[in-house]
Amino acid sequence: MHDTITGGARAAALCLADRHPGLPDHVEAALHRSSSDRAGQYGGLDPVGLASLVVSVATFAWTVYNDLRTRTPTPRADVVQRHVRVRLSETDHAAGSIDAADLEQIITVTVTEVLNAAALPPAEEDDPEN
């Protein structure tokens, strides 16, 4: 999984942790499960399902961001969020079981954190010769 996705999902989980305690730990676990294991596991606001949703939104956000960058170098956050909402509604009906306000907050926070992570320079690899 791309560093931007994992970084964005982790940062979003930390931002959402005040309303959803334990979310950072569940997101970490979701990041280590395969995408096929995550699909359709949102089930209301159960912590494991919520974590899977955050990771899915982060993945969609990164995909959308990269797609939009072919048209503009820096896609706006609201445009990425709109595309994520559409893709999520088209591909995963389980997200519809979550309260609309919670889903909106999850999308907004996660997209913001993925875009923040995308703006960071890549981590430098340790050079054993230095």
- The band of 1, judged by pLDDT with boundaries at 50, 70 and 90, is low
Residues 76 and 82: their CA atoms lie apart, in Å, by 10
Residues 85 and 119: their CA atoms lie apart, in Å, by 22
Q: Over 60: is that where the pLDDT of 128 sits?
A: no
- The residue ranges of every structural domain in the chain are 3-119
Residues 4 and 28: their CA atoms lie apart, in Å, by 14
What count of residues does the chain have? 130
Share of residues in the chain with pLDDT > 90 (%): 45
pLDDT digits 0-9 by tens, 19-75: 888 999 999 998 887 554 444 444 445 778 888 889 989 999 999 999 999 998 889
DSSP per-residue string spanning 22-39 = THHHHHHHHHHS-HHHHT
